[in-house]
Every structure is written in C-alpha cells, then in structure tokens.
Amino acid sequence: MKRIETGFEHLLFSSRWLMAPVYFGLVLAMVVLLVKFGKEVWGLFAHIMTASGGELIIGVLSLVDIALIMNLLLIIMFSGYENFVSKMEDLHNHQDRPDWMGHIGFSDLKIKLIGSIVAISGIELLKAFMNVTNLTNQHLGWMVGIHITFLFSGLLYAAMDRISGKGH
C-alpha cells in the first residue's frame, strides 16, 4: 500500500510540469502583444502631424497599457514557474536576473496582479475620458464602476495580506 501512495504522490508532484506549456503560451501572448505594440507605434508616428493632442495622448496611453500587460505577464511567468514548477537554478547568478525573481510568493503575486489590473483599468478609464464625446453615460458609468470594483478588490487583498501577517 505504501508503494501505491508513494507512486501517487510522485505522479501528483510531477503533474506540476503540465503548467510549463501554459507559461510558454504566455510567452506567445507576449509576442502577439509585441506585434500590437509595433502596430500602435507605427500608427502613432504615421499620424503625428495630423493627430490632435488628445489622440496622441490616447496613443501613448495605449502603449503604456500594452507595456503594463507585458510586465504583468513576465511577473506571472517567472514567479508562477518558480513557485509551482521548478526553480531556475542556472539563472541565479545571471547578471540580468531581476532582483525580485525568486522572492515573489503566491500572496505577493496576487497583490501585484490586482495592482496591475487596477493600473490597466485606470489607463482604460483615462483613455475613455479623453474620448468622452463618443461614449454614452451608461458605458462610462460601467467603466467607472468596474474600476472602483478593481480598486476596492485590491485594497481588500492588501488588507487580507496584512492581517494574515504576510504583508511587508
């Protein structure tokens, strides 16, 4: 019976590698976002002389939005892989290794995730306000409501983290 239990535990432990293709899929998502970023930059420069100041600001905010999403994907890929699949032992002494890598736990990851979502939502809301003439009051109300929901969710996550004694 002990052999069956040990074998089952090894199977469960090995199943963590099923997450590896998911993290590779996030790498592919970053490639898609990079193409979108290039398209946005190209469009921004193509209309630099004819675009209004508001249109340029919206274009730049779109670039910031994509950069935030890509940064979030990096954090999720690195910390998720190291927390749930395998340590990146060969990279511990790499000169370009980020300082936070290997130090973000699941709780920290949740806080960073909700913080990024709030920032992305805020940028989307700012872009909407820059283009307010094309929005209905109902649409704008939904956007503000969703942003406030994300904001309060982030505050609650941070409070729960601090209460549980894991806050820094």
Residues whose CB is less than 8 angstroms from the CB of residue 150 and which lie 6 or more positions away in sequence, other chains included: 114, 117, 118, 121
What is the domain count for the chain? 1
Domain encompassing residue 92: 18-163
2: in domain: no
Maximum C-alpha span of the chain:
76
Write down the pTM of the prediction.
0.75
Give me the tens of pLDDT residue by residue for the chain, a chain 168 residues long. Answer: 889 999 999 999 999 999 999 999 999 999 999 999 999 999 999 988 998 888 888 899 999 999 989 988 988 888 888 888 888 777 777 777 776 666 677 777 778 888 888 888 888 888 888 777 777 778 888 888 999 998 998 889 888 888 887 555
151: in domain: yes
4: in domain: no
7: in domain: no
Residues whose CB is less than 8 angstroms from the CB of residue 7 and which lie 6 or more positions away in sequence, other chains included: none
Phi-psi sector, 102: left (phi>0), alpha (psi -120 to 50), beta: left
Q: State the Cα–Cα distance between residues 33 and 99, nearest whole angstrom.
A: 25
